[in-house]
Amino acid sequence: MDVTNPKNAELMEREPINRTFRPQKHFLTDGVTCLIFFGLICFGGEWAMWLSAPVDRRVYSIPFAAGCWLFIAPLFTWSILVWKYVSIILQNGKLFLKGVFGCREIKLSDIKIVHWSLSSHGQIKVQTADERGTINFYYYTKAEQLWLIQYFRNHFPEDQQQNWPLFCLKIALPLLKPKPDKPREPGPDDVLHTRRNWDRLTFIMTGITALIGIFTAWGLQKPGYLFLPLLPLCMWGFRYTVPKEGIYVRSTSADKELIYLLWWTGAATMILFLLILLDLPREYRGFIAPTGMLIWAAPFFWFLIKSEREEKKKALVEAEQAVKEWDDEFKPDCIGK
């Protein structure tokens, strides 16, 4: 039986599915654990400030600690509330979307649009003539996410579904067929990045910052600039994030966005230094700064928008193949089994 038939209302009434989806339990355990942990930190910090502060200023430690607690606590309290109240229920041809502050009841046969959103970890946004609802995949297991995707994909006609190809490429297919945890095959524009490359980069950056620090400290008579080389040295430890055998990365020469960013930013920096050296009159500075930023930002954002459009075109081509793979894997007749 083809459930992608436009008479989806009749089909769903014939084959009712009753299922309930609740957020994973780690939302509760994480929320409680973090509340206790950060509560102890805030209390301990407040106690330490109370003991170390002068007697006439101890009272100020209380609002400081309370402010920190009130800033952090709602984040983890929300996680607990999500676990307690949020759920998705499919029952008797209806969709119940329960949230922290209420519940929405939507009849499946009334749904006009199913929008596959890439927001967060993936969302299904359903819309009737006068109501909307959102299913957020972030709260559920991978198996539950796949079931929901399969259900909504197979039970609604193509003309009611929006953005499915890109969703299939970015969210659905990676859930179904996760990529193996192994080094990817090198592409034509890839180069092998090893720990030696990181060592070489650290050595060069340390030398450059040392020269800058020496000349700046000498010119401004501020010895603190001599510590500039410590910055790249602190980054040297990241060499151990690279596997011993190395990892293939995209060549810088093939990354048009990076080359453009470096070139355009470098040119803007040089112009900025020239303007500083010229020591322009004060009345011109208020005009030159915003004008210069506008001149720099306009081509930069134009290039980013152009690159994004090209990437989207490429993704749409890949999405067609992803949809075929999904349709080959999930046949309409298997829904609800």
Q: Where are the domains positioned within the chain?
A: 17-85, 190-326
Note the residue count of the chain.
337
Structure tokens that stand for 214 in this block: 């020496």
Measured distance CA(32)–CA(19) in Å, rounded = 28
Q: What is the pLDDT of residue 144?
A: 93
Most confident range (mean pLDDT) of 111-115, 204-208, 247-251 is 111-115
Per-residue pLDDT band at 20 (split at 50, 70, 90): very high
Q: Which residues contact 98 (CB under 8 A, 6 or more apart)?
A: 85, 86, 87, 88, 89
Q: Is the confidence at residue 6, as pLDDT, over 60?
A: no
Question: How far apart (Å, rounded) are the C-alpha atoms in residues 207 and 115?
Answer: 53
* Average pLDDT of the chain to the nearest whole number: 80
- The whole-number pLDDT of residue 1 equals 36
* Residue 335 pLDDT grade (very low, low, confident, very high; cuts 50, 70, 90): very low
Q: Could you please report the per-residue DSSP string of 98-150?
A: E-SS-EEEEEGGG--EEEEE-STT-EEEEE-SS-EEEEEGGGS-HHHHHHHHH
The pLDDT tens digits for 66-82 are: 888 888 888 899 999 99
- pLDDT greater than 70 at residue 13: no
What predicted TM-score, i.e. pTM, was given to this entire model? Answer: 0.62
DSSP secondary structure string for all residues of 20-38: EE---THHHHHHHHHHHHH
How far CA 16 is from CA of 85, 91, 151, in Å, comes to: 24, 7, 12
Nearest to 131 by CA among 110, 102, 149: 110
Residue 184: per-residue pLDDT: 59
Q: What's the distance, CA 102 to chain centroid?
A: 27
